[in-house]
Copies of this chain bind each other. A is one copy, B any other.
């Protein structure tokens, strides 16, 4: 809710809010019978006293626009404007349906809070802080760029010039060989994963993911009706032998991995294991989906070649993204795989959104082709390294005896094990009270008592303060 009260206006606050709600009711945004936000929630959203909202709701009731029942909240009257109560859709029945499963409540709670929180610190977001987006460099590139008069060329796989750039990008940076015709440009890694689960797997199919895992936090596996089984992650990543075990037990049909600077743990799958995974999967004839959004963000100059770079038989679907190296607001990712798979997914994508906008594709292409790009990457690595170090030292100083962690060699996150047992839900709520957001481990399928902290989303100057807030939260629960 972005509407705000105008504190300078002559009109009293309650009057402004009354008119705002009345308007939304009259426009059908709150249909007859629908529930208004609770007093507490609306007060928080609009940043006003709860008494003000109580006053507004009283007035709305007095004017007949809403009905209030103890315990069931405030509802828009069904009789307003003289319309029969029947003349209304029962939207709740629709909203609760659908094969698409909503986000997990705890994640929704954290994201919802991130949207409205004023002040405070967000250590939960997986996004690069927006000051790291190369805006100046984009501006200068665009100022010299002339849009082609024919923007109309659209291909279901995405802009040809960008696909060619990506083919050469993955060769340079990841030693992956491919041609533009086997690249599908997607709206980030997220859309690639969505397409794979919707188009290549059937409801009831079993798939393996790392445990804990970023994938676990995505309801898209459940939305596709898949059964997920975990591959426990140690300091060298998952154990390839576990694939065989899961295959025998559950006949898994696909393996989803995030081998480099794994989210949430930061683990790097060792190169021996990469080859083993590839071999075992090939032997079983089941494909690997390799999610590789951050492997370029190394803090020790080591590059870890993706599993895909060893794949000669098209057993790996490789998923890349610019979200963590340029910015998530671009929404540019890619999927590389066998021609037939790419064709199938490109066709489905047409039905989902009719393809990607040409503009972020042009922009991504300009950014990647520019000679500034390697400098930008280097800058980013340096900046993230400093932020990581700042967070490490703050954690050490402020929480040294209360948590354990390993030092991530790249990426965005520090994975912390808490030395006392806490309930994740309570911990998150305590954080919200202190205006400090973080991701509890349970979101990734780990037991209670783990936390993922992002160092990429806050400026260096804020990190120590954020960690000290977090320490306070931890002390209190």
CB pair B351 A219 closer than 8 Å: yes
CB pair B31 A351 closer than 8 Å: no
What residue of chain B has the Cβ atom nearest to residue A181's Cβ?
B1
User: Across the interface, which residues of B come within 8 angstroms of A115, CB to CB?
Assistant: 155
Q: Point out the residue from B1, B2, B98, B283 that lies within 8 Å of A200, measured CB to CB.
A: B98
CB pair A191 B90 closer than 8 Å: no
Q: What is the bound-complex CA distance between A88 and B281, given in angstroms? A: 9
Nearest-CB distance from A180 to chain B (Å)?
Answer: 6
Nearest-CB distance from A358 to chain B (Å)?
Answer: 4
Extra inter-chain contacts (8) besides given A88-B314, A135-B147, CB under 8 Å: A89-B313, A89-B314, A138-B147, A151-B327, A152-B327, A187-B187, A191-B354, A329-B357
Q: Mark A447-465, 1 if CB is under 8 A from B, else 0.
A: 0000000000000000000
Q: Point out the residue from B139, B182, B285, B331 that lies within 8 Å of A29, measured CB to CB.
A: B182
A91 contacts the other chain (Cβ, under 8 Å)?
yes
What residue of chain B has the Cβ atom nearest to residue A138's Cβ?
B147
Nearest-CB distance from A77 to chain B (Å)?
Answer: 11
Residue of A279, A357, A363 with most partner-chain B CB within 10 A? A357
- Residues 278-295 of A contacting B (Cβ, < 8 Å): 279, 282-283, 285-287
A248 contacts the other chain (Cβ, under 8 Å)?
no
CB pair B147 A129 closer than 8 Å: no
Q: Is the interface of A mostly helix, strand, loop or mixed?
A: loop
Tallying the copies of this chain within the complex gives 2
Q: What is the bound-complex CA distance between A313 and B77, given in angstroms? A: 11
Residue of A31, A223, A332 with most partner-chain B CB within 10 A? A31
A100 contacts the other chain (Cβ, under 8 Å)?
yes
CB pair A130 B152 closer than 8 Å: yes
Q: What is the bound-complex CA distance between A29 and B312, given in angstroms? A: 9
CB pair B338 A202 closer than 8 Å: no
User: Across the interface, which residues of B come within 8 angstroms of A2, CB to CB?
Assistant: 155, 160, 180-181
Q: What is the bound-complex CA distance between A27 and B285, given in angstroms? A: 17
A-B contact pairs, 26 of them (CB 8 A): A2-B181, A3-B179, A31-B338, A83-B282, A84-B283, A86-B282, A86-B285, A89-B286, A89-B315, A90-B285, A91-B287, A94-B253, A98-B201, A99-B99, A99-B198, A103-B347, A108-B347, A111-B156, A130-B152, A135-B147, A188-B353, A190-B353, A191-B354, A194-B351, A218-B351, A357-B359
